[in-house]
Amino acid sequence: MLCVLLKLTTQTQVPNSNFHPPVEVPGESKANLMSMSFPGLQLHIEDQHVVMDNGILQVNISNPEGMVTGIEYNGIDNLLEILNEESNRGYWDLVWNVAGSTGTKGIFDRMEGTSFKVIVENEEQVELSFTRLWDPSMEGKLVPLNIDKRYIMLRGSSGFYSYAIYEHLEEWPAFNIDNTRIAFKLREDMFHYMAIADNRQRFMPLPEDRLPDRGQALAYPEAVLLVNPVEPDFKGEVDDKYQYACENKDNRVHGWISNNPSVGFWQITASDEFRSGGPLKQCLTSHVGPTTLAIFHSVHYSGEDLILKFGPNEPWKKVFGPVFIYLNSLTDGDDPLLLWEDAKQQMIYEVQTWPYSFPASEDFQSADQRGSVCGRLLIQDRYISEENVPGNCAYVGLALPGNVGSWQRECKGYQFWTRADEDGYFSINNIRTGDYNLYAWVPGVIGDYQYDAVITIDSETGQRCGK
């Protein structure tokens, strides 16, 4: 069996990373990137569009829908696919269904906002809100959620952030959510090289290669045999977006590189806390399109077990994100793969600064509102040793209270995970307030562990201990 010695503390000064230990970012200090040498932000509000401009990039968002229609950067008027409709370039979406429905093919919704509001506007930061409120007249037509999509731009930052708050009121009808995400469709004439990890990157086929005259559909529609691709070197390959899925714990940065001009487009997720299914849940990343995704909840690889099901009289609110859309570039003649190396360094910086201090919504908790848990995991197994054995490299995490192993199917709340050291000691930092169970397992050891008591994280609570 597994046992744990546990100590609970409030948040003070703790590392910001669980799965990724703090690493010093080489080169120019990131703080310098935010210095006064960069121009102050400007916000341009038009009838149908809103433009955030920090002198490095301009982000054009439809008003009041909240779709990202254009990203101007490094002299390029738009990094998004200009041949697509404006609503099919950069957008949040979800798939939902009425309560009692079966299967995972629900109703697709791009969550178009109906109201626009400036939340923050000064030289250092702009934060915009695009909301859609639900009322009973929409029952059966729109997902019963209040949706608040946010976009943030900071001074001196080569990118922008996005997050959203979903809220279901107690008196609203029951319903299901199958998937929710943010998607960006990039320019096909520019972005041909995709990178997900050091050992998972390559030149990619074109969308045309998947059409019937160039590709042959296989057992399921996502898998296509390339029989007559535009680039002959791809002939005989199978293109399938599921080939590029990634476990949540490893899904920190991915995206695309353009060789001419040398520009990178990256999706960076600094924390797993808002993702469903725990650290081993696999989600899509980037794929032929060129498309890049930030998946917050999905039923991929799990089916109906991971459908978010809300019953009658069940209130719920959750913050998804922020995620960071990072852009970088090189001068002519430099190795384009340096863009990937730079994106990894930016990812480290984002992880180290989580939770971010700048989101304006009170629903996103800052570091001083969060708590920490530390302890030691020991293994009691007489077939291994008469003495307790340290839980070397154990996975230890907090998720909503449930049964042993229930974190794998938990979708409604937040999860916080870390790895124990070789002696079984662990520390979980930056935990949102709330009630949790502590779960653990040790690679190579049979069985899952669950701490007996419910752990309450309260920003007002002092130190306390438990066994």
270 and 369 share one domain: no
**Residue 256 DSSP code:** E
Domain contains 427: yes
| Tens-place pLDDT, residues 255-282 | 999 999 999 999 999 999 999 999 999 9
CATH value at residue 110: 2.70.98.10
Same domain for 190 and 284? Answer: yes
> Same domain for 77 and 194?
yes
Report the C-alpha gap between 149 and 163 in whole angstroms: 6
Could you tell me the pTM of the whole model?
0.92
Domain boundaries, position 54: 39-203+241-352
Does a structural domain hold residue 224? no
Q: Report the pLDDT value the prediction gives residue 1, as an integer from 0 to 100.
A: 56
Last residue of a domain, one of 327, 352, 377: 352
Same domain, 131 and 275: yes
Kindly state whether residues 190 and 168 are assigned to the same domain.
yes
Report helix, strand or coil for 48.
coil
**How sure is the predictor about 381, in pLDDT bands with cuts at 50, 70 and 90?**
confident
How does residue 27 score in pLDDT terms, banded at 50, 70 and 90? very low
Both 117 and 194 in one domain: the answer is yes
Residues 326 and 462 in one domain: no
Whether 360 is in a domain gets the answer no
Residues 327 and 388 in one domain: no
- Its sign, for the CA torsion 361, 367, 371, 372, is positive
Indicate which CATH number applies to the domain containing 442. Answer: 2.60.40
Same structural domain for residues 269 and 381? no
Quick one: 136 and 199 in the same domain? yes
pLDDT band at 5 (very low <50, low <70, confident <90, very high): low
Q: Is residue 208 part of a domain?
A: no
Could you tell me if residue 235 is inside a domain?
no
87 & 179 share domain? yes
Q: Is residue 297 part of a domain?
A: yes
Instruction: Pick the range with the lowest mean pLDDT from 101-105, 148-152, 238-242, 421-425.
Output: 101-105
| pLDDT more than 70, % of the chain | 90
CA distance 120 to 316: 26
- SS3 state of residue 208: helix
Last residue of a domain, one of 352, 373, 408: 352
Kindly state whether residues 189 and 333 are assigned to the same domain: yes
Total number of domains constituting the chain: 2
pLDDT, tens digit, 9 for 90 and up, residues 421-453: 999 999 999 999 999 999 999 999 988 999 989
| Domain-embedded: residue 433 | yes
The answer to whether residue 234 is domain-embedded is no
Residue 64 CB contacts under 8 Å (≥ 6 apart), including other chains: 113, 114, 115, 116, 130
Indicate whether 14 pLDDT > 80. no
Final residue in a domain of this structure, among 292, 319, 352 = 352
For 290-320, what is each residue's pLDDT tens digit? 999 999 999 999 889 999 999 999 999 999 9
Q: Are the CB atoms for 242 and 254 separated by under 8 Å?
A: no
Give the pLDDT score at 383. 78
